[in-house]
Amino acid sequence: MAMKLYTYWRSSAAFRVRIALNLKGLEYQSVPKHLLRDGGEQRARDYLALNPQGLVPALDHDGTLVTQSLAICEYLEEIQPEPGLLPGNAAERAQIRAMALAVACDIHPLNNLRVLQYLRGELKQPDAAVNGWARHWIAGGFQALEQWIGRYSTDGRHCHGPGATLADVFLLPQVFNARRVELDLAPFPRLAAVAAHLETLPAFAAARPAVQPDAE
């Protein structure tokens, strides 16, 4: 299976997919797209022809292109079911999806690069206000995730159950974003404990931004 991942080292959405690929043991070629250089390489005509949204990540699998990190992770789950990112019964899988979606749909969209650039550029907001905006929305989402981890984790080291799931794949990159804007994680001890454990796992450690080929 020939896989190419269009990525950017600091993109938390691409970070998710790198973790999922590593957990599945799938090899891939990294194709970096610098999101800031020359106005953003993801906005270049050749990349827009591939992915009209002009976003990363995008996964090319033997000529089939899949975009959006959640869709990519679910695609990987279907073509490589083991180890499973969505284990358990229907209710448990729904709970795991809900935790991942809380990050993908409720937290991340309000503090991704496009939104922060608009706040700084079009709305002329200073960095302090922009970072405060990001901290506000991340903290609100983390409050719910903290409670869910308390409800669903069976070992205190994962979001749900006793092993890594799609919820963990989405949590750790968002913690990375939280640290970038200096969000205090002390109010979220369960979440922080899970993140600390995940960072020790090889699949997560190898996906972290600092060790990517395009890291600056």
Query: pLDDT of 87-134, one tens digit each?
Result: 999 999 999 999 999 999 999 999 998 899 999 999 999 999 999 999
The b-or-e profile of 106-140 (16+ CB within 10 A means b, else e) is ebbeebbbebbeebeeeeebeeeebbebbbebbbe
In the DSSP assignment, the letter for residue 160 is S
Tokens of 79: 């073509």
pLDDT band at 27 (very low <50, low <70, confident <90, very high): very high
Of 186, 185, 165, which Cα lies nearest the Cα of 198? 165
Are 9 and 32 contacting, i.e. CB atoms less than 8 angstroms apart?
yes
What proportion of the chain, given as a percentage, has pLDDT over 90? 94
Tokens of 58: 């995008």
| SS3 (DSSP) at 55 | coil
pTM of structure = 0.95
Residue 1 pLDDT > 70, yes or no?
Answer: no
Residue 197 pLDDT > 80, yes or no?
Answer: yes
Of 200, 209, 147, 212, which Cα lies nearest the Cα of 174? 209
